[in-house]
A and B are shown apart, each in its own frame.
Chain A
Amino acid sequence: MISRRRVLLGGAAAAGTLIVGYALWPSGRIRRADRLAAKTGERFLAYWIKIADDDIVTVVIPHCDMGTGIFTALLQMAAEELGADWDKTRAETAPPDPLFANGALVEGFALGQAGMTRDSVPAFLQGSVFAAGNRLAQFMDIQVTGGSSAVRTTGVYGVRIAAAAAREMLIAAAADRLKAPLKAFHSEGSRVIHKPSGQSFRFGELAAAASRYSPSSHPALKPRSEYTLVGKAIPRIDIPAKVNGATQYGIDVQVPGMQYAAIKISPIVGGKLISVNEASIAGNPGIEKIIKLDDAVIVVADRFWRAQRAAEALKTVFGDAGNAAVSSDSIREQQLKALNQDSIKHEFSLGKGAKALQNQAAIERLYQVPYLAHAAMEPVNATALRKADGTLEVWAGSQDGLGARAFCAKTAGLHLEQVIFHLMPSGGAFGRRLPGLWNFLAYAVQAAMALPGTPVKLIFTREQDLRHDYYRPNVSSRFKATLNADGTPAAWVNEYTTDNGSNAEAHIVYEVPNQAYGAVKVATPVPVGPWRSVEFSWHGFFVESFIDELAHEAKADPLEYRRALLRHKPRHLAALELAATKAGWGAPLAPARARGIAMVECFGTIVVHVAEVEVSDDGALKVHRITSAVDCGLAVNPDGFKAQIEGAIVFGLSAALYGEITLSKGAVEQQNFPNYPVVRLKDCPAIEVHIIESDAPFGGGGEPGTPPVAPAVTNAIFAAAGIRIRELPINKHALKRGA
């Protein structure tokens, strides 16, 4: 995921190309879309937008449903621009076909990278219809759901523009019928209305004629002041099917003749399968086949529990790939050694950079975070069938339907056209189902290829899911700072370990005249991958802990200290102010209670959390309350957005309090929820989320709530008990006061 995104953006930048596309198709492509994804009586007007004779508007969404509510939000954006009656709109998952590759996503990232918005793109470039974004998205097989990007890229650069273009086409069709000027028409309630005469037409009456016009690449968008659906807390469309067991996730797929597969993967990272004692499960019922792979063995049986029990009982020998001595401790030692080198290159500096530290006693601190698993509730799984004609059919939840289809084709040695991929809703993902993290797809496809004609459903047990994840990296980060006479930082130097390169996420928003950042790569065999909020999940904790420590050194209030360093950042100041006010910052609390504050801006959204904690005399910690202020520009669906922040807080709190994957002798030690604890109802604090509407562009929703949780809580623990937690998780530390 990360590397692919880099390649893509790097390529665009290297070529000096400005990517401008409006995700609109020429008519030939629209007719192909009709053949692929339109039912009788409906047709595409523009990319992603279908209108049926019965007025139903369907938005075909190039994302997966993993629980974040984006189908509802994107449908709101489309219905808003179209002037559609909400009750006559539907959302559908886009087919994992190159035709529906997400050009808007690519474009959004590319423009963002160039520091541009759509409005700042020169007019002469706005006409290209078959745009570079689409071409690149197809080339990259991208339909990714990640990076908190659905609204701010697919919505902003794709769906709302396509919907506005479709509205213009409907109006053109109506104008042609009445032989009246275009500007006499508007759309509302799924009708096109001719104001002077009061005559109106249903969308369904106009759709066929409208589809004969070409969509404009730069239709007029509604001004924010006229929004009636965007900004409204409309109930999510996916929720009714999630309260009665009706939603079919990947794990629920039933195919006639299906067999079930359980897997045993090398416990030691990178280990290869040496031998299997098939006789050890000779007496087990229902066994269909034992499939030996490079680093795993799969047992296929007629029932899942039979496959699972056999896989657990099966005697196997795996190699250690030279990793038998790898442990979390050995990795930490490597990291410290790397950080202690004198030669760390600073890839980014401001002012005098690290030179500003010279000959001065610096405040120096080291912070560390552990590996974390995603542990989504639906263990990873996939169902695959190699058919008699040589083609492959796959059912799975994935954060990139088209990419997953291409990956399955590659794994099976087939062409894309020879693979049918059914993108299923995911029971959580949090990054686990992104490109690059697809061991479950690879194993399921290999099992199907070994059993032609038999559909095989491979389910990872929770133990396999937890022990064969791609983990949030284990990171160490060292800071050095000096303070001016007034206590504000004069220099800020940060050196940190990394698995894959330097992180702009480490760079601070605070006004410090001299800054320097250096990354030092520490190679380990442990598979790592994006985890909700990715690099911000660690740098957010590091930066917001260190700034809090500097406030303490300067004998300043942590809120006031931050404010003084944000004088030219009105949105950040407003978010700090609102969170502090709502949390009662400064107001007296019961004994042993205290508040901590933290702020992180990521994915276009600013989040401030104030945590209120209690550290009792015996060292017990209780997080009572998290008060949050969020500036995301405008929340398309404020209640859905709040739900994302609430969920991201709980996700971040699980990690902060207890989250830790450790390795010993080359293998992950944790097995299942009993030794990978997560927050449950009784531990969940009261959460209040306050949204600030600003005129900033739409910000992301899924991830930004996570990074400030851990530092808000550890800063509060310091305020309550004088104990500074510099290494997560918190439960590793005794919280006895004065300890």
Chain B
Amino acid sequence: MQIQLNVNGHPRQVDVEADAPLLWVIRDELNLTGTKFGCGVGACGACTVHVNGKPVRSCVLPVSAVVDTQVTTIEGIGTEALSAVQAAWILHQVPQCGYCQSGVIMAVSALLASNPTPTEEELGAVITNICRCGTYTRMRAAVSSLAANGARK
């Protein structure tokens, strides 16, 4: 069926089943490959995108659920200049293989938008993405530098 989407501020139309996973629609219909497949069961967070600014795991979300919403992928943030989260990720040299980081950056960006100064406990409770390279301590340092900036503003 024809489905109207709004992805990264642009209207897009795709012709897929209503229950096609949003992840694969984003990757293979819209050719936005920054969003990753990690587990297919919503357990690892590699596929995290924003729907109306809220983080969702797109591998378990049917595409029909995002009609009339604003979907944002990693390609839709920091388009003019790097976002603060992306810049902090570079400053703290967070990524190793980098595969999980699109999802992590989307999850962290959404968290900081609603809570600019998360405690370490809040961060751990909300950011449940898996990084097999083990970059967690650097994620923490990067978020804590952003939180310090947020607190000063």
A residues whose Cβ falls under 8 Å from a Cβ of B: 65-69, 235-236, 238-249, 251-252, 254, 260, 285, 303-305, 308, 375-379, 425-430, 459, 461-463, 639-640, 643-644, 646-651, 672-674, 678-684, 686-687
| B136:A69 contact, CB within 8 angstroms | no
Q: How far is the CB of B136 from chain A (nearest CB, A)?
A: 4
Interface contacts beyond A673-B39, A681-B128: sample of 10 additional A-B pairs, CB < 8 Å, sorted by A: A238-B98, A239-B98, A243-B78, A245-B34, A254-B33, A377-B131, A643-B138, A648-B134, A649-B134, A682-B124
Question: Is B146 an interface residue, CB under 8 A from the partner?
Answer: no
| A243:B134 contact, CB within 8 angstroms | no
Q: How far is the CB of B26 from chain A (nearest CB, A)?
A: 11
Question: Is B117 an interface residue, CB under 8 A from the partner?
Answer: no
B121-135 interface with A by 8 A CB criterion: 121, 123-125, 127-135
| A67:B133 contact, CB within 8 angstroms | yes
| A651:B134 contact, CB within 8 angstroms | yes
Q: How far is the CB of B38 from chain A (nearest CB, A)?
A: 5
CA distance A260 to B27 in the complex (A): 13
CA distance A246 to B125 in the complex (A): 28
| A377:B137 contact, CB within 8 angstroms | no
Contact of B97 (CB < 8 Å), options: A378, A461, A462: A378
CA distance A243 to B20 in the complex (A): 27
| A462:B40 contact, CB within 8 angstroms | yes
Q: How far is the CB of A683 from chain B (nearest CB, A)?
A: 8
| A244:B132 contact, CB within 8 angstroms | no
Q: How far is the CB of B29 from chain A (nearest CB, A)?
A: 8
Given A245-B102, A646-B138, also A427-B97 (CB < 8 A): yes
Classify the interface of chain B: helix, strand, loop or mixed: loop
CA distance A456 to B148 in the complex (A): 48
List of 7 A-B pairs having minimum Cβ-Cβ separation, nearest first: A245-B34, A650-B134, A427-B99, A67-B97, A242-B98, A682-B124, A245-B74
| B124:A244 contact, CB within 8 angstroms | no
Query: 1/0 per position for B74-117, CB-CB distance to A under 8 A?
Result: 11011000100010011001111111111001000000000000
| B97:A239 contact, CB within 8 angstroms | no
Query: Could you say which residues of chain A place their CB within 8 Å of the CB of B97?
Result: 65-67, 242, 376-378, 425-429
CA distance A648 to B137 in the complex (A): 12
Interface centre among B33, B46, B132, by most chain A C-beta atoms within 10 angstroms, is: B132
CA distance A428 to B132 in the complex (A): 7
Question: Is B67 an interface residue, CB under 8 A from the partner?
Answer: no
Query: Could you say which residues of chain A place their CB within 8 Å of the CB of B132?
Result: 375-377, 428, 430, 651, 678
Query: Could you say which residues of chain B place their CB within 8 Å of the CB of A683?
Result: 124
Query: Could you say which residues of chain B place their CB within 8 Å of the CB of A427?
Result: 36, 97-100
Given A66-B97, A244-B34, also A687-B137 (CB < 8 A): yes
Contact of A239 (CB < 8 Å), options: B17, B93, B137: B93
Interface centre among A238, A644, A649, A684, by most chain B C-beta atoms within 10 angstroms, is: A684
Q: How far is the CB of A424 from chain B (nearest CB, A)?
A: 12
Query: Could you say which residues of chain B place their CB within 8 Å of the CB of A376?
Result: 97, 99, 132
